[in-house]
Structure 1
Amino acid sequence: MGLYADDTHSDSNSENLISKVVTSSDGNYVYLGNKKFARDDLIQAFGGTLNPGLATPSAHKFANPAPLGLCAFALTTFVLSLINAGAMGVKNDSIVVGLAIFYGGFVQLLAGMWEMALENTFGALALSSYGGFWMSFGAITIPWFNIAASYEDPVELNNGIGFYLIGWSIFTFMLTLCTMKSTLAFFSLFFLLAITFLLLGIGKLGDSHGCTVAGGVLGVIVAFIAWYNAYAGVANRQNAYVRVHAVQLPVLESRN
Structure 2
Amino acid sequence: MCKSTLSGNSARPLEVTYNLSKSFANPTPISVLGLAISVSTLGCDLMGWRGAGGNGAASTGAYFFMGGLLMMLGGFLEFILGNTFPFILFCGYGGWWYSYGATLQPFFGAYGAYSPDASDPSKGLEVAGFNATFVELSLTISFALLSGAFWELALGNASVASNLQTAGGAFLFVAGIAAWYILLAITLSSVGFPFTFPLGDLGGFLTKKERLDSDASA
> How big is the alpha-carbon RMSD for the aligned residues of Structure 1 and Structure 2?
2.3
Number of corresponding residues? 172
Structure 2 counterpart of 1:155, one-letter code: A
Q: CA deviation at 1:94?
A: 2.2
State the partner residue of 2:174: 221
Which of residues 82, 85, 92 in structure 2 aligns to 1:129? Answer: 92
The answer to whether the Cα contact below 8 Å between 2:26 and 2:190 also exists between their aligned partners in 1 is no
The answer to whether the Cα contact below 8 Å between 1:64 and 1:233 also exists between their aligned partners in 2 is no
Cα pair distance change 1:62/1:198, threshold 3 Å: same
**CA separation in 2, counterparts of 1:224 and 1:196?**
14
The answer to whether the Cα contact below 8 Å between 1:69 and 1:112 also exists between their aligned partners in 2 is yes
Cα pair distance change 1:252/1:229, threshold 3 Å: closer
Q: Is residue 251 from structure 1 mapped to residue 205 from structure 2 by the alignment?
A: yes
Alignment of 1:61-140 (within 5 A): 61-92=23-54, 93-140=56-103
Alignment of 1:191-206 (within 5 A): 194-206=140-152
Structure 2 counterpart of 1:77, one-letter code: V
The answer to whether the Cα contact below 8 Å between 2:43 and 2:170 also exists between their aligned partners in 1 is yes
Post-superposition Cα deviations, 1:211-248, rounded to whole Å, max 9, x if no partner, equal 11001011001011112112221113965455212333
Q: CA deviation at 1:146?
A: 1.1
Structure 1 ranges of 4+ moved more than 2 A: 57-60, 236-242, 246-250, 252-255
Unaligned runs of 5+ in 2: 1-18, 116-123, 154-160, 213-218
Structure 1 counterpart of 2:132, one-letter code: N
Does the residue aligned with 1:95 lie in a helix, a strand or coil?
helix
Does the residue aligned with 1:139 lie in a helix, a strand or coil?
helix
The answer to whether the Cα contact below 8 Å between 2:31 and 2:71 also exists between their aligned partners in 1 is yes
**CA separation in 2, counterparts of 1:252 and 1:128?**
24
State the partner residue of 1:160: 133
TM-score (norm 1): 0.61
More displaced 10-residue stretch of structure 1: 244-253 or 72-81: 244-253
Write 1 or 2 for the structure with the bigger share of helix.
Answer: 2
State the partner residue of 2:157: none
Structure 1 counterpart of 2:105, one-letter code: I
Cα pair distance change 1:58/1:102, threshold 3 Å: same
Does the residue aligned with 1:69 lie in a helix, a strand or coil?
helix
Cα pair distance change 1:237/1:59, threshold 3 Å: closer
Q: CA deviation at 1:58?
A: 5.5
**CA separation in 1, counterparts of 2:30 and 2:183?**
7
In percent, how many aligned pairs have the same letter?
A: 26
Unaligned runs of 5+ in 1: 1-56, 170-193
Does the residue aligned with 1:94 lie in a helix, a strand or coil?
helix
Higher relative contact order (CA closer than 8 Å, sequence separation 6+) = 1
Structure 1 counterpart of 2:131, one-letter code: N
Cα pair distance change 1:87/1:130, threshold 3 Å: same
The answer to whether the Cα contact below 8 Å between 2:69 and 2:94 also exists between their aligned partners in 1 is yes
Post-superposition Cα deviations, 1:118-168, rounded to whole Å, max 9, x if no partner, equal 1111111111111111111111111111111111361111111122x22xx
